[in-house]
Copies of this chain bind each other. A is one copy, B any other.
Amino acid sequence: MPKQGLRYAAKVDLKKEAYDQPQLHNRWHPDIPFCGTIKNNEVVKIQCVDWTGGQIGNNDSADDVRDVDLTRVHYLTGPFEIETAEPGDVLVVEIQDVQPLQEEPWGFTGIFAKDNGGGFLDEHFPKAAKAIWDFEGIHCSSRHIPGVRFAGLIHPGILGCAPSPEILATWNEREGALIKECSHMGRDVALPPLAKNVHVGHGDDKIKEQVGKEGARTIPGRPEHGGNCDIKNLSRGSKVYLPVHVKGAKFSVGDLHFSQGDGEISFCGAIEMAGEITIKFTVMKGGVEHLAMKSPIYIPGPVEPQFGPGRYIYFEGFSVDEKGKQYYLDTTVAYRQTCLRVFEYLRRFGYDDYQIYLLLSCAPVQGHVAGIVDIPNSCTTMGLPMDIFDFDIRPEAKPEKRDLGSCAFVSS
């Protein structure tokens, strides 16, 4: 039988509040009701709002980024009932395509203010900032970061199946323990359940109340189901293998990215967008045991922007922080240092620090764990592709300070 155009398992309406759309939700909880049903082996399209649910505008001010309401994020589409899926199965999710919405060919990258969200380098760059990206087919460019253009490796930042009650309890317990343990740190180290702005699709008030009390926040990825992994090469043609924890799987997806750099360092760091994703769902019965699976696995698609290995400049960082303090095999410190090395390098060409911060978050930079055993220093590297720049950034090039404009900052 000839193949027809695909059905939409869910659509979104960008003119309506995300909060009012019953096919969206913003917490992980087993009791959020299904928003639709998908057959085993079916292929469907699913539309998604951007992760903030439309809080960020296509304009030249970062006020919206500064004032973003993080109690509302992420808005995910789902949860979907996948027929025949049961706990212990693996849900095989083939991402056949991901696209921006035709009528909205743009996205944004944000730097959250240190006191509202923050990011990997908020000690160094505490202000809010923003870049708008225009999509030009597979490429994108930004009026806020002139001189660069690159092809996106488009992907969903979040996908996963709902936790079982037991897993949810584990999450709350272990993250709660961390919050207690780190109360002296004076910053959020994890986000506990929060009733404010909970959205449970078409769930009733009772469910909303319970999810408000217990529902897991969507910010972190978690080993048991994946979730917010922000993996830059989970793109078109990829297959993800997700453990199923509740009957019907309760699969959700969202947080679409046009492109992201390894680490997504500014937190709102990918090129965030609304869009639609085409997925084939297949249930692998008993897959969790068969694959000895504790966390999701995936196989990327065969199609990636290719620069050639010799077209990257690599930077190195170690477990010694910018004040000269030595850490013991701390790979997070090493990666932060690696990032800072790129700032020092790119500044010479005329970019502002916030432009660089935005760029490293969303451009296809390669972040590698190089060595993790040579005590006391982890060594990480970041590969910066030279070919995304329209001027020569090789070490041999003269680093003339160009006039490279500015990203969007807060007004006043």
Interface residues of A (CB under 8 A from B): 2-6, 43, 58-59, 92, 94-97, 102-106, 119-120, 132, 134-139, 151, 170, 174-175, 177-178, 182, 185, 188-191, 219-223, 226, 228-233, 236-237, 241, 262-267, 269, 278, 280, 284, 287, 290-318, 320, 324-332, 334-335, 337, 341, 344-345, 347-348, 366-381, 383, 387, 394-395, 399
Contact = CB atoms under 8 A, between A and B. Distances in A.
A324 B170 CA distance: 9
Contact of A309 (B95, B241, B306): B306
**How many identical subunits does the complex contain?**
4
B189 A3 contact: no
Given A328-B190, A377-B221, A381-B231, A136 B43 contact: yes
Given A5-B105, A367-B369, 10 more contacts: A2-B59, A3-B106, A174-B320, A233-B309, A262-B368, A295-B317, A297-B341, A304-B306, A330-B330, A369-B369
Contact of A297 (B304, B313, B330, B369): B313
Given A59-B2, A306-B303, A337-B223, A174 B325 contact: yes
A371 B74 CA distance: 16
Nearest to A158: B374
Contacts of A136: 43, 94, 96, 280
B379 A221 contact: yes
15 contacts: A92-B395, A151-B303, A189-B328, A221-B318, A233-B309, A264-B373, A264-B374, A291-B395, A295-B316, A297-B314, A300-B309, A300-B314, A301-B309, A304-B306, A307-B308
Nearest to A233: B309
A159 B320 CA distance: 19
Contacts of A291: 345, 348, 395
A292 B348 contact: yes
